[in-house]
Amino acid sequence: MFKDKICVISGGALGIGRCLTREFAKAGAKIAFVDMNEEAGKVNAAYLKQQGCETLFFLGDISEEETLRLFADSVIEKFGHVDILINNAFFSKGGIHTPCSYNDFNLALRMGVTAPYMLAQLFSPYFREGAAIVNMTSTRAHMSQANTESYTAAKGAISALTHALAVSLAGKVRVNSVAPGWIDTGSYHDESYEAHYSAADTAQHPAKRVGDPLDIASAVMFLCDERNSFITGENLVVDGGMSKLMIYSGDEGWEYTPSEIKR
C-alpha cells in the first residue's frame, strides 16, 4: 500500500509515534522521524533498519525553529521528496492550577501547533502527487479535565489548523487529523509491559476495551491511503466511543463526589 512512500513522523521514538513508524515500515514505506529522546530514537531506528526499512532518525527538539529547518533539510537531502507527514510529537505541562507558566504554555503551542504548521510549510515544495498530512489532535480538543489548559488549547488549535491547511493545500496535499481517546502506549515504551485494567476501565468505553496504538496507526493509514482521496479537512475520533457516552451521577454504577480545588 505504501511501498517506497516517504513517511515523515514527528515524535517517532516511543509510544504512538513508535507504532506509526513500525506500521508504515511494514507497509513498505521509508521512514524519517524526529525525536528529542536520543536513546529511544536510536533503538527504534536500529529496529526499523533490521526490518529492511530505509530510515532517517534526526535528534532534536521540534519546539525550536532551527531543529525544524535542519530536520526538513535532512529529509529532502536523503529522500528528495515527501509523501506523508504525520505531526505526532507533543509535550505539555498542565494548566492554570499547576500553574503552567507563560513559557510552559507557549512551549505546548510551539510543539503542538507551530511545529506542524512549519513542517507543512517547509515540505510544501516537496510533496508528491497524492501526498497526505495527518495531525494528531485529541478528544481533549472538545472535552477537558481540570488543569489541562495547555494540552487542550494546543489540541484545539491543531484541529483548527487541520481544516485551514486542507483548504490552503487543496489539490496538492490532503490534510486530516486523528483524535485519540484513552490509548495505552505501554507496550511501545517497554516490550515486557503487561496491561492491567479494572472492569470500570473497559466498561466506560462502548467498545468495551481501552485503546491500543495500533488503533491509531490503522486510522492514520486509512487517511493516508490514496484510495480515500475524497476525505480532507476532517477529524477522525478514535476513542472507543468514550466521548459519546453520557453518564449522570447515579447512572452505570457511577457517583460523582465533588472535591474542592485549593487555590
How many other CB atoms are there within 10 angstroms of residue 77's CB atom? 9
Query: Is 47 annotated as catalytic?
Result: no
pTM of the model: 0.95
Q: Which three cell numbers stand for residue 155?
A: 489540541
Query: Which pLDDT score, from 0 to 100, does residue 260 have?
Result: 59
Q: C-alpha distances in angstroms, 72 versus 4, 34, 62, 116, 118? A: 18, 10, 11, 12, 10
Task: Report the length, in residues, of the chain.
Answer: 263
Residues in CB range of 30: below 8 A, 6 or more apart:
4, 5, 6, 7, 53, 54, 55, 79
Q: CB of 116 within 8 A of CB of 100?
A: no
Query: Which pLDDT score, from 0 to 100, does residue 246 have?
Result: 86
Q: How far apart are CA 74 and CA 8, in angstroms?
A: 11
Query: Which pLDDT score, from 0 to 100, does residue 263 have?
Result: 44
Catalytic residue among 47, 151, 188, 248: 151
| SS3 state of residue 176 | strand
> What does the domain layout of the chain look like in residue ranges?
6-244
- Residues facing residue 56 across a β-bridge: 32
Query: Which pLDDT score, from 0 to 100, does residue 254 have?
Result: 77
What does pLDDT average to in each consecutive run of 10 residues of the chain (263 residues)?
A: 97 98 98 98 98 98 98 98 98 95 98 98 98 97 94 97 98 98 95 89 92 98 98 98 88 77 47
Under CATH, what is the fold of the domain 6-244? Rossmann fold (3.40.50)
Name the E strands within the chain.
6-10, 30-35, 55-59, 82-87, 127-136, 173-180, 235-238
Q: CB of 48 within 8 A of CB of 7?
A: no
Q: Which three cell numbers stand for residue 260?
A: 474542592
Query: Which pLDDT score, from 0 to 100, does residue 251 have?
Result: 83
Residue with cell 533498519: 49
Q: How far apart are CA 3 and CA 225, in angstroms?
A: 11
Preceding amide of 99 cis, omega within 30: yes
